[in-house]
Structure 1
Amino acid sequence: MQDSTYFSIRVYRNIHTCSRVVASTIQNKRKGTPQVVADVLRGVYPGEVDTPAPKALIKVVQNEAHVNVSYSTALRGKKLAISELVNPGTVTSVKLDARNKFKYLFVVLGTSIEGFRAMRKVIVVDATFLKSVYGGMLVFAIGQDPNHHHYPIAMGVIDKEKDASWSWFFETLKTVIPDDEELVFMSDRHKSIVKAVQEVYPLSQHGFCVWHLSQNVRGKARVGSEYLDNSVHLEKWARCYFKGDKYNLDTSNACEYMNSVFKKARKYALLPLIDAYIEKVSEWFNKHRKGSAIASDTKKLVPYVENQLHNLCAIANGLFVTELNHFELEYSVLDIDKIPCVHAIAADMALMRNPNRRREIHLHELCLKYYRIDTWALAYYRTIYLVPHQSTWIIPEEIEKLVILPPDYTKKSGRKRDKRYPSTGEARRKQSNRANPGIHIGRWFEPLNTDEDQEENQGDNQGGNPSEV
């Protein structure tokens, strides 16, 4: 109406000219996407491949994301979530011969590469026989974490122990672990291993397994010393003459343990063997990750070293310490394992108990950085995902076109031997690497409160050898 805010509708045409609303205004009508389903699965079932069926996922997505999805969307989201469960940084290599027949295999997980940076740089290598119809050798490269647990670095499959196979294995290993002066290899005295380490890792040091040496010397009581002097260089097996730092690792027992763990898997074909390896390594990573997470906040060192230092503190408490100020004495406070020796601990006790001390030196400050709990946690902070079902694999087209033939083999008559005869002296004592809640190293460095406590300690430690530090 003219000169008014009122109006009247006289004609109605049932045709919409406005734009359509993109987003639905009704909450229960919202539709989800495969990416939404994958995000829900990642949050509800982290790191798991065996998730609910698509029909059950529809209800899970409704409860978690408050959206509706169809069966096909749930199925695509499930496949998308599985495809995202990968181990980044993993390096694999396969070598074929001139006839496209399988020859060598190398596998190293990205988590192992990253975790080895928090390890003492000692690698134990060895090979054992595969028991499948095609034969071959299973190769392991093993480290040791700060709490003295075996830490698998790489695995491989070769035809036999020879110069070409070991050189290929070390050259492939060098692509992920470069040559370094701090690096140390431990193995038996196989000539191909010795030659490959010298050629591929010239800056590293190579030590021989003392247990294998003991088996070679056994039965040669009269000429045992001459055998070691003439056949083996002293710096290859004697810890005091070794040029690098091999710490407590003087045998290839780590690889022997892996051979025992995969005793059954060594009968498998190649793909099931790789699945068994990844499954076992994932199990160990999850176990030790929890162990490093629940470590006491009041302690700085890993349980194994904490227990070892506690025993040394009991000995150091009985030593007599004299302060020497009239001359300088050069003395390394670390022993071969890079932890304080008993004399350094005794001196540190005397310093911390002195009320007039000028500075404080805590025992964990004298230990190598690899023995700290925070370093231990860095080795296992990443998750290792299992290999999903083959139907979910995304294989590049150029890889799918490759044809790999199995290697040649000769069928042998007779029954295969599953067990070998153990040699005398194989069993090695294992020290405790579990946390003891009753152990607290700090109490050894507390000041002595009363004269009665001093007399009691002197009475308990009678017979101890006095020592000047």
Structure 2
Amino acid sequence: MGSRQIVAVLQLGGVFTTDDDGGMTYSGGEAHAMHVKSGWTFKAFKNEISSTLNNLKLDSYAFKYFLPRNNKTLISISNDKDLKRMVEFHAESETTYIYVIKKVENRVKSSVADSGAPADLAVIATTPDGSKRQKICASWENAITGAGQVFEGPKEFRDALHKYAIARRFHYRFIKNDSTRVTVECTDEGCPWRIHASKSPSKKEFMIKKVVGSHTCASETVNSHRLASQKWVASVIKEKLRDSPNYRPRDIANDLQREYGLCLKYSQAWRGKLIARKELYSPHEEACNHLPWFRDRILATNPGSLATVVTLEDSKFRFFVAFHASLHGFEHGCRPLIFLDVISVKPNKHWKLLAATSVDGEGDVFPVAFSVVDDECQENWHWFLEQLKASLPVPREITFISNGKSDLWDDVSLIFPDSYHGYNINSFIEEFKTQLDDGWSEEVKDTMVEHLKEAVYSCTVDEFNHYIELIKAESDKLAEWLMETKPERWSDAFFKGSRLGQYTSNISETIVDWMPSRYELPVVQLLDTIRCNLMEMIYTRRESSNAWSEVLTPSANQKIQEEMSKVLSLSVVCSTENHGNNNVFEVCDGSVYIVNIDTWECTCRKWHVSGIPCSHALAVFERTEQNPLDYCAKYFTTECYRMTYAMSINPIPDVMVPSASTDPSQSGGLVPCPILTRRQVGRPKEKPADPRIAIKRAVRCSRCKGYGHNKATCKVPITA
């Protein structure tokens, strides 16, 4: 803070008046000017005031001020911290007003209260149980005056009724509530009070037509007021929250107790603050303010990662992150295959996740990079692909899989010119279903979908043509549409890339499972939740693979066994030595297939498509006494799988949700703030999960050293 100082105008001897909206105006008295320095103690502050006011004795006076743009709540200065906050709050103001107010018994009033002016700021009232509370200002108690009172519309009437009910401390319910009439009654069963308002005969104003009875209920003893809704709390604290971003829920509850006599729960103040923050700051503004800080933390804690943030117009942004552990795993263990997906994380409706994911040796999804953008459009995808290319350590031939929308066909070939690009088969099948004739029965539609799937998985042109003819027999138009979609993008018979048996990605379901279903996360915590789950996923899969003893992963071993079961029905007719190559064989399976061991090819093409030897090749290996495991793609080996998860994502300490107007670069970190910004209607079916992600270690048995159970539940037989 240095030697910063502000000009303070001391107000002494005047009176406060309260407007209908709760705003206070000070008039009369005398004014004096003085400087307030940032380094002063409260004692030095009082001494300067006393000197400025001709050595006035200040023991019976209190010092108060208004926050900038807030004239409804007076803030006290009673210690060093209060004085420091006052200087900070008014650092950008040319002047500030400090009111020197006479303290009388248990209340505070202006020095000239004896003049008869309404100087009291609050009146202490005694409740029937003997406790003391403050009454709401008189304007709220008179917000409803009786029949004939006119309002601009039903909303203004409901707002006045809300204030009136809070001031009079009773609960009400709506009998009728629409744009032309509002009827309300007290919720107490024995209370006869009832009020009705509707449009006046001229249809221009909203008028109270009838007030029946008076309150006989005992709501004065109610401690926590149900009418202090989240929206009402937000409306009261919004301006103060703008000037004091670190306004804590506990302080909010205390202030509402002191100023309005309402005892709120911590959760009520908490949610009211969230609504106020949401009204003051858009999620995009929050993201633009705090993503640079989060980017720097990623780069500092995870060296070798790539994180980029770009701020655009209208508070829009783009954020890209690829952790070093993910890049290392993709380069050294994963198939050269990347799925491009867009993910809508509910209930987060403000942005989209663009994801690049690969597949490990078990066929499970392996996230490589993510991007948060405002929309799925061509410009955002183009930027994402550029960042992805910059993050990949070694250029290599990659196969991309996507839904082909947003001009991805052109962008992928432009940015990755040596790559291949095919359809996400699930998306393609859904698009195919929209082309089916509405007049067809469900049985015919299901048959057409099955024919398409067989055409997708056909490894030879003859097989593909067979299923296209079956579709054509039902609809020439449908078969023509399929051929126009370029089969080289979706059928194994023509696709030139290397999918290795993987046709779709379940990353969307995975991310949705990671997200809390009842919480709308700020973008920083959204990204950090993904990071925490990635940490746990990498750790769990690495630990589980330590127990594998086979050369291939379990799923690859299973596929080998399935193909081996077909070998008994095959016969290796002869070794084609006359071809000049002892490693070319003919295998009879109803038809004759040629297997070339040197080029890892069979004329059935299943070996080439899947990366795992087909039954024809396995028959040859059995004949020649060769190990079939030596002829599997390396991506299915246990070694490659372990390389995929060899690196870990490092923790990022103290990642908490920032307050909207906090500058993390200046504060050195983020300040804690609640994350609940949207509640679903109705009672939760189960207790919501804690949005903070805890990394749990896998359970390991101390007897067999296996994972997923303990010694008490171990079923592994004891060997001698």
Shorter-chain TM-score tier: 0.5 to 0.7
Q: CA deviation at 1:88?
A: 2.3
User: Quick one: which amino acid aligns to residue 613 of structure 2?
Assistant: P
Q: Is 1:293 paired with 2:558? A: no
Q: CA deviation at 1:102?
A: 4.2
Q: CA deviation at 1:211?
A: 2.0
Q: Is 1:264 paired with 2:516? A: yes
Q: Distance in 2 between matches of 1:170 and 1:85?
A: 24
Q: CA deviation at 1:130?
A: 4.2
Match in the other structure for 1:159: 374
Q: Distance in 2 between matches of 1:87 and 1:107?
A: 11
Q: CA, structure 1 residues 371+134, in 2 after alignment: closer, same or farther (shift >3 Å)? A: closer
Give runs of ≥4 in structure 1 deviating > 4 Å: 82-85, 130-134, 178-181
Q: Distance in 2 between matches of 1:131 and 1:149?
A: 23
Q: Gaps (5+ residues) in structure 1?
A: 1-81, 353-360, 392-397, 403-413, 417-469
Match in the other structure for 1:110: 324
Match in the other structure for 1:371: 636
User: Quick one: which amino acid aligns to residue 240 of structure 1?
Assistant: A
* Aligned positions of 1:290-329 closer than 5 A: 290-296=543-549, 299-328=550-579, 329=584
State how many pairs are aligned. 307
Q: Distance in 1 between matches of 2:417 and 2:513?
A: 32
Greater C-alpha Rg: 2
User: Quick one: which amino acid aligns to residue 542 of structure 2?
Assistant: R
Q: CA deviation at 1:128?
A: 2.2
User: Quick one: which amino acid aligns to residue 367 of structure 1?
Assistant: C
* 3-state SS, counterpart of residue 651 of structure 2: coil
Q: Distance in 1 between matches of 2:479 and 2:514?
A: 37
Q: Is 1:120 paired with 2:335? A: yes
Q: CA deviation at 1:314?
A: 1.5
Q: Distance in 2 between matches of 1:88 and 1:133?
A: 30
Q: Distance in 2 between matches of 1:244 and 1:362?
A: 27
Q: Is 1:129 paired with 2:344? A: yes
Q: CA deviation at 1:209?
A: 1.6
1:49-83 deviation digits (Å, cap 9, x = unpaired): xxxxxxxxxxxxxxxxxxxxxxxxxxxxxxxxx99
Q: Is 1:224 paired with 2:478? A: yes
Q: Give 2:621's match in structure 1, choosing from 325, 348, 354.
A: 348
Q: CA deviation at 1:304?
A: 0.7
| Preserved contact between residue 207 and residue 237 of structure 1 (Cα < 8 Å) | yes
Q: Distance in 2 between matches of 1:309 and 1:122?
A: 22
Q: Is 1:250 paired with 2:503? A: yes
Q: CA deviation at 1:401?
A: 6.1
* Cα RMSD (Å): 3.1
Q: Distance in 1 between matches of 2:564 and 2:529?
A: 43
Match in the other structure for 1:284: 537
Q: CA, structure 1 residues 173+401, in 2 after alignment: closer, same or farther (shift >3 Å)? A: farther
Match in the other structure for 2:665: 400
| Preserved contact between residue 104 and residue 158 of structure 1 (Cα < 8 Å) | yes
Q: CA, structure 1 residues 179+126, in 2 after alignment: closer, same or farther (shift >3 Å)? A: farther
* 3-state SS, counterpart of residue 214 of structure 1: helix
Match in the other structure for 1:195: 410
Q: CA deviation at 1:187?
A: 0.8
| Preserved contact between residue 348 and residue 363 of structure 1 (Cα < 8 Å) | yes
Q: Is 1:145 paired with 2:357? A: no
User: Quick one: which amino acid aligns to residue 413 of structure 2?
Assistant: Q
Q: Is 1:210 paired with 2:425? A: yes
Q: CA, structure 1 residues 133+143, in 2 after alignment: closer, same or farther (shift >3 Å)? A: closer
| Preserved contact between residue 320 and residue 370 of structure 2 (Cα < 8 Å) | yes
| Preserved contact between residue 514 and residue 533 of structure 2 (Cα < 8 Å) | no
Q: Distance in 1 between matches of 2:526 and 2:566?
A: 48
1:17-66 deviation digits (Å, cap 9, x = unpaired): xxxxxxxxxxxxxxxxxxxxxxxxxxxxxxxxxxxxxxxxxxxxxxxxxx
Q: Distance in 2 between matches of 1:85 and 1:103?
A: 22
Q: CA, structure 1 residues 281+83, in 2 after alignment: closer, same or farther (shift >3 Å)? A: closer
Q: CA, structure 1 residues 390+136, in 2 after alignment: closer, same or farther (shift >3 Å)? A: closer
TM-score if structure 2 supplies the norm length? 0.40
* Aligned positions of 1:323-338 closer than 5 A: 323-328=574-579, 329=584, 331=596, 332-333=601-602, 334-338=607-611
Q: Which moved more, 1:380-389 or 1:324-333?
A: 324-333
Q: Distance in 1 between matches of 2:313 and 2:508?
A: 33
Q: CA, structure 1 residues 343+327, in 2 after alignment: closer, same or farther (shift >3 Å)? A: same
User: Quick one: which amino acid aligns to residue 264 of structure 1?
Assistant: P
| Preserved contact between residue 108 and residue 155 of structure 1 (Cα < 8 Å) | yes
Q: Distance in 1 between matches of 2:501 and 2:422?
A: 12
Q: CA deviation at 1:373?
A: 0.9
1:109-141 deviation digits (Å, cap 9, x = unpaired): 100001101211111111122446761211111
Q: Distance in 2 between matches of 1:247 and 1:217?
A: 23
Q: CA, structure 1 residues 155+192, in 2 after alignment: closer, same or farther (shift >3 Å)? A: same
TM-score if structure 1 supplies the norm length? 0.60
* Aligned positions of 1:45-124 closer than 5 A: 86-98=301-313, 101-117=315-331, 118-124=333-339
Q: CA deviation at 1:249?
A: 1.9
Q: Gaps (5+ residues) in structure 2?
A: 1-296, 438-474, 585-593, 657-662, 668-678, 682-720
Q: CA deviation at 1:180?
A: 5.0
* Aligned positions of 1:18-33 closer than 5 A: none
Match in the other structure for 1:177: 392
| Preserved contact between residue 346 and residue 512 of structure 2 (Cα < 8 Å) | no
Q: Distance in 2 between matches of 1:170 and 1:145?
A: 21
1:168-200 deviation digits (Å, cap 9, x = unpaired): 110011111268562011111213322321221
Q: Distance in 2 between matches of 1:103 and 1:363?
A: 51
| Preserved contact between residue 129 and residue 135 of structure 1 (Cα < 8 Å) | no
Q: Which moved more, 1:136-145 or 1:320-329?
A: 320-329
| Preserved contact between residue 141 and residue 152 of structure 1 (Cα < 8 Å) | yes
User: Quick one: which amino acid aligns to residue 183 of structure 1?
Assistant: I
Task: Looking at secondary structure, tell me which structure has more strand per residue.
Answer: 2
| Preserved contact between residue 179 and residue 201 of structure 1 (Cα < 8 Å) | no
Q: Give 1:362's match in structure 2, choosing from 606, 627, 630.
A: 627
| Preserved contact between residue 125 and residue 255 of structure 1 (Cα < 8 Å) | no
| Preserved contact between residue 299 and residue 305 of structure 2 (Cα < 8 Å) | no
Q: CA, structure 1 residues 84+141, in 2 after alignment: closer, same or farther (shift >3 Å)? A: closer
User: Quick one: which amino acid aligns to residue 654 of structure 2?
Assistant: H
